[in-house]
Amino acid sequence: MEATAKHLLDWYDANARVLPWRAPPGAPPPDPYRVWLSEVMLQQTTVAAVGPYFAKFLALWPTVQDLAAAEDAEVMSAWAGLGYYARARNLLACARAVAARGGVFPDTEEGLRELPGVGAYTAAAVAAIAFARRAAVVDANVERVVSRLYAIATPLPQAKAEIRARTEQLTPNDRPGDFAQAMMDLGATVCTVRAPRCLLCPLSADCAGRRLGPEQFPVKAPKRAKPQRRGQAFWIERDGAVWLVRRTDKGMLGGMRALPDNGWSARSDGEGAPPLAGPWQDLGTVRHSFTHFDLDLQLMLYSGADWARLEQQPGEWWPAAQLDRAGLPTLFAKAARLAPETDGEN
């Protein structure tokens, strides 16, 4: 085990990716706030997608206390487009809990797990990378490396316990943060999902999966077909401004600005009434894939003028020409592209 860790760390010293939230190999650990922020953003999201958001958040909120003091709407708007919006709500809850502790993150896995929204993976990653604690850090890249290294034949997700145990055995007492990031980099750049570059791998001599055919690992259970949902969103425009609402804090895309809709959810098609009685015109449909279902969202254009009734409802007029600044979730941004261009008259 010690030889495996040494081979990997030697490779990492020469090949580590340069990322804005990292310290160079062998350097003192980075600021825990940067580590935590990056790890939350990187959940189910690529490094390339996270980079600009990470820079934007640091520019707006340089410290965890700054983030804790931010308005919910501002944070949700800044997060728009990154997806998995529950992460943004958890981010705020965690920042406020840390701020209540004087802005100091707990320095152990156990302490970090007590923070709102911090699960096993994030706690292990922050403990190892920010505080040099020995912790088994297992993301999708590490799962792939370890399952191939030991040719683990148990399908995911049942194999997760064995993969974690193997990772725990491999993790050294010295430089555990660098080791965790080395495993991530190896999976991202060498032990890739397709066409792994085994000739460049520092662990290839000991890899059981290489001899059997690495691409068969990790073994995955057959995917279930996603449910197909349908819903409607409503485009209501007046004098070059479009009517937006704020979604409830809980549920799909909670707390985000959005177009009004008919109440679709992950479990059912929308059944709610439009915000106004017609006339309505069908502008087309966009498809969007969520983790557990696909949604066909039909965009309906209002061509009436019952503004008094509309303005009795919660919402706001937003300049249509500046809709990209509203922080709409990707689904509603896609739907908005179906709307006709406006010249400022209605």
Q: 39 an active-site residue?
A: yes
Range 271-306 burial, b when 16+ CB lie within 10 A, else e: eeebbbeeebeebebbebebeebebebbbbbbeeee
Locus of tokens 């020469």: 14
CA 231 from chain center: how many Å?
24
Query: How many Cβ atoms sit within 10 Å of the Cβ of residue 341?
Result: 6
Choose the catalytic residue: 39, 271, 311, 341.
Answer: 39
Cα 159 to the chain's mean position, in Å?
23
Cβ contacts of 101 within 8 Å, gap of 6 or more: none
Distance between CA 326 and CA 246 in Å, rounded? 11
**What residues contact residue 237 under an 8 Å CB cut-off, 6+ apart?**
243, 301, 302, 320, 339, 342, 346
Neighbour tally for 65: CB within 10 Å: 15
Tokens of 216: 């068969």
Residue closest to 26 by CA, chosen among 10, 7, 37, 38: 10
Active site positions, annotated: 39
